Amino acid sequence: MPVPRDRVARLRGLRFHLLDWGTAGAPPVLMLHGGAQTAHSFDEVAPGLAPDHHVVCLDQRGHGDTDWAPRYLRDDFAGDIEAVLDHLGWQEATLVAMSLGGLNAMAFAAARPARVRGLVVVDVVPSIAPAGRDAIAKQLSVHEFPSLDDAVAAAHAFNPRRTIENIRERLGHAMRECPDGRWRYKFDPGMAAGAADMERLWADVRRIRCPTLLVRGAESPILTKENAERFLAAVRGSATAAVEGAGHSVMGDNPAGFLAAVRPFLRRWGL
């Protein structure tokens, strides 16, 4: 399996961390993770796209090994996307983006249509099912654990679709060991403040004009069928795909199913 190259870029006053899966000169794909996650959220699927795409995964502001920021407004996240594209020398790219990343990608695609060739939104629209939202908020309210084993156990209880080994590897990137031996998530708890404008994103959704695929986890508590249909009605010519055996974190819950949904979309539109 290929291994990504760690890259660092100083952009907009922040130090950003990226994973570069290579194949320079191939069609560019920028991947954006969900809230409290990292660029490594795509480790199971990026290798499947890298042979014929130049795949780069970003630690968004306040996440992973990217700096925490003074604020986390939607415009800030969207501005970061543009800065990363400029840094990579990409005039345009396909965005593959989950949850928080998906919302940020929608805003960017609406504001900068000339820079987005295609859009793959993973398990999110601007309306989130309250039960799923509250469950995730409860899980993320605990930022620190006595040990990595305790953190892994809690994450596995929340999402038993993943193996213990997989969760341990993901948390090894998403958490750090403190001087007292406890383990703490790297994400900035303050990043949740930028979510207040979520419903207003429906206006942006209606301005998206690029080929768009909405990928839904068939077992997701976040994205309802009704809200998925509202998204499809708002984005002209968009399509959807449900991935069986997957919850909200579709890429890691069922990587093969995710690629089976995304690759035909990319081929169809020459992305």
Q: At what angle do helices 148-158 and 164-174 cross, to 10 degrees?
A: 120
Instruction: Enumerate the H helices of the chain as residue ranges.
Output: 46-49, 74-88, 100-111, 130-140, 148-158, 164-174, 201-205, 225-234, 250-253, 255-268
Q: Are strands 14-20 and 5-11 parallel, antiparallel or unpaired?
A: antiparallel
Please report the pLDDT score of residue 69 as a whole number: 97
> Which residue ranges make up each domain of the chain?
5-129+195-268
Torsion over CA: 215, 220, 224, 225 (sign): positive
| Residue in the structure block whose two tokens are 């979510």 | 195
Please report the pLDDT score of residue 140 as a whole number: 84
The distance between the two most distant Cα atoms of the chain, rounded to a whole number of Å, is 53
* Angstrom distance (rounded) from CA 60 to CA 57: 9
Amino acid at 193: A
Q: pLDDT digits over 47-105, tens only?
A: 999 999 999 999 999 999 999 999 999 999 999 999 999 999 999 999 999 999 999 99
Confirm if 167 and 156 have CB atoms less than 8 A apart. Answer: yes
Homologous superfamily of 5-129+195-268? Alpha/Beta hydrolase fold, catalytic domain (3.40.50.1820)
Where the chain has pLDDT below 70, the residues are: 1, 193-196
Please report the pLDDT score of residue 32 as a whole number: 98
3-state secondary structure 94-111: EEEEECHHHHHHHHHHHH
> Which tokens belong to 185?
């998530």
Confirm if 33 and 63 have CB atoms less than 8 A apart. Answer: yes
